[in-house]
Structure 1
Amino acid sequence: MAATAQPASSADPSPRDRPLSVMSFNIHAGIGTDDQLNLQRVADVIESEGVDVVGLQEVDRHWGARSDFVDQAAWLAEELDMHVVYGANLDQDPLEPGQPRRQYGTAILSERPIREWDNTFLPKYEGHEQRGLLRARINVRGVWATVYNTHLQHNDANERLEQVAAIEELIGEPDESVVLLGDLNAVPTAPEIRELVDDLVDAWEAGGAGEGHTYPAEDPNARIDYVLTSGDVITRTAAVVTTDASDHLPVKADVLLPGSHVGLGS
């Protein structure tokens, strides 16, 4: 007797969601709560947490004596065997001719290859530090995701609002999953954060427990470091990681990218 064919929708299971572990970590140029430079501590935190993607802020690249003129992004990538892209928001001439340029900014480390990337400067007021939005696009077992990393102005809420507006415009209305990592220098009740979570989901609110304070590391009393996602991403857990490697504590989230997006994009 011939078998009766079943409709594909009932015979084929839905593609499984793709797990992804992400972290935002302001590394303070590798200087810990003891005021000592020790980039290995930063690497140890990332390795011990087993994260797939990390957005780093305050990353030196041949910047100066405080970090021994090391390319910190490249050093961490090699130490952790991860892919890396770097956004140089400050870019200055070397102290001596022929030496590498002195740079300071953000980086994204990824276990998976980074297919495309760019860094876009954000609005800044006169006399303030240049900030940027670093973008990296990765493929997680057939699901494309765009990871953003930023570090907003620390002492001007109006400037942060303008920076947030620029970020929202740059993200636009994406066709694929989005993760925004960053030291946003504002607490969850601030207007600039409320503006962001009109379109994005705060992973801490979705999967964290407690206050989630990340700063200052020795006695944290403010939540200013974030993992935000597009609405199609499911947060399973969110946690603050205790460490003395920086003046900030990193925030980590385990999320699921939608399996329904398998095969979309290129």
Structure 2
Amino acid sequence: MLFARGAWLLVVAVIAGCAVLVGPSAPGGASDQSRAAARDAVPNRVMTWNLCNPCDESNVDRAAEIAKYAPQVIAVQEACQNDVARIREYLENLHGLKYHVEYGTVLRKWSRCGGAPWNPGAYGQALLSAAPMTDFEKVEYADGGSEDRGYMAVTTRVDGRAVRVFNTHLAERRQEEIRADQASALAKVVARHKRTIVLGDFNAVPDAPELSPMWALAEDADPQCHPSPELDCEPTTEWQSKFDYIFLRGYAPLTHHVRQSAYSDHYVVYADLKAK
């Protein structure tokens, strides 16, 4: 019996020693040895993506989707703060892309983000930037519609120039009057800055009247897209509507791309920009 007990203790010691040597397994807790080699984001590339929520998607897959394009700035909507934190972790550990992050939480909701019933997860927008972000601002619209909505803004660098970057998510479809008030409030703030990039899900097609304040200030990164009766705008959703925009002031688009994604009902929208 003493021999058997000694043999068992030896086995336990060997297993524990192996665990120490191997370290945490990726992707849940990638060790320093298993991290991807550091790589740079594309310094003039910006991206917007509605993550889809509630949707049972893996944050590992979401991070891999973002890493395909490696933008300097990423705006995400319908985002749980815990999910964004994990996406950021996977971007660094699995893809070598390091980002700063700011959260534009507008509500805490268990049905969106889980958590304890008395402490539900934070939900809203987020901005990730390879360059540092300053002058963070978060604003909730006076009327969010059927769910709280808002915008967030930071100052960062794109194409080597300082720029005010906004990320927003307007009220859901069939709430045109509420979206009109939200777009008007956002446009008044955007108008204060000569160089801005406004990213987000506006829940409205380009010729919708509620987007008029934004079109009066800025152009979409898609050079073929204008608020005219003869639209030539590439759809950004599974239901073949353009709801996702990259509005520009003080920048010109070099390229514009819409990529379907298996991980959301919205497509990935990104553009390479040149400062004017």
Interval of TM-score (by shorter of Structure 1 and Structure 2):
0.7 to 0.9
User: Unaligned 5+ residue runs, structure 1?
Assistant: 1-17, 62-70, 259-266
What's the RMSD between the two structures over aligned residues?
Answer: 2.5
Tell me how far apart the structure 2 counterparts of residues 22 and 30 of structure 1 sit (CA, whole Å).
Answer: 25
Instruction: Quote how far apart the aligned CAs of 1:96 are.
Output: 5.4
Tell me how far apart the structure 2 counterparts of residues 122 and 205 of structure 1 sit (CA, whole Å).
Answer: 29
Match of 2:16 in 1: none
Residue 50 (structure 1) aligned with residue 70 (structure 2): yes
Change in Cα spacing, 1:30 to 1:42, as seen in structure 2 (3 Å) is farther
Change in Cα spacing, 1:115 to 1:215, as seen in structure 2 (3 Å) is same
Checking the alignment, whether the CA contact within 8 Å between 2:44 and 2:159 is kept in structure 1 is no
Q: Which residue of 165, 186, 201 maps to 2:204?
A: 186
Match of 1:146 in 2: 164
Larger radius of gyration: 2
User: Which structure has greater helix proportion?
Assistant: 2
Q: Deviations over 1:192-223 (max 9, x none)?
A: 2233111111111368996311112xxx4111
Match of 2:3 in 1: none
Letter paired with 1:49:
Y
Tell me how far apart the structure 2 counterparts of residues 226 and 91 of structure 1 sit (CA, whole Å).
Answer: 26
Aligned residues: 220
User: Unaligned 5+ residue runs, structure 2?
Assistant: 1-41, 92-97
Q: Deviations over 1:80-131 (max 9, x none)?
A: 221110011113596356xx55211000011111122121011316x62111
Match of 1:261 in 2: none
Instruction: Give the 5 Å matches for 1:1-266.
Output: 20-29=44-53, 31=55, 36-61=56-81, 71-80=82-91, 81-91=98-108, 95=116, 101-124=120-143, 128-140=146-158, 143-154=161-172, 155-175=174-194, 177-205=195-223, 211-216=233-238, 220-230=239-249, 232-258=250-276
| Structure 1 residue runs of 4 or more that deviate by more than 6 Å after TM superposition | none
What percent identity do the matched residue pairs reach? Answer: 27
Tell me how far apart the structure 1 counterparts of residues 117 and 240 of structure 2 sit (CA, whole Å).
Answer: 42
Q: Deviations over 1:164-184 (max 9, x none)?
A: 111012223214x20000100
Letter paired with 1:211:
C
Letter paired with 2:133:
I
Letter paired with 1:124:
D
Instruction: Quote how far apart the aligned CAs of 1:242 are.
Output: 1.9
Tell me how far apart the structure 1 counterparts of residues 212 and 204 of structure 2 sit (CA, whole Å).
Answer: 10
Tell me how far apart the structure 2 counterparts of residues 141 and 241 of structure 1 sit (CA, whole Å).
Answer: 22
Checking the alignment, whether the CA contact within 8 Å between 1:207 and 1:236 is kept in structure 2 is no
Tell me how far apart the structure 1 counterparts of residues 159 and 233 of structure 2 sit (CA, whole Å).
Answer: 33
Letter paired with 2:138:
N
Letter paired with 1:82:
Y
TM-score of the aligned structures, taking structure 1 as reference length: 0.75
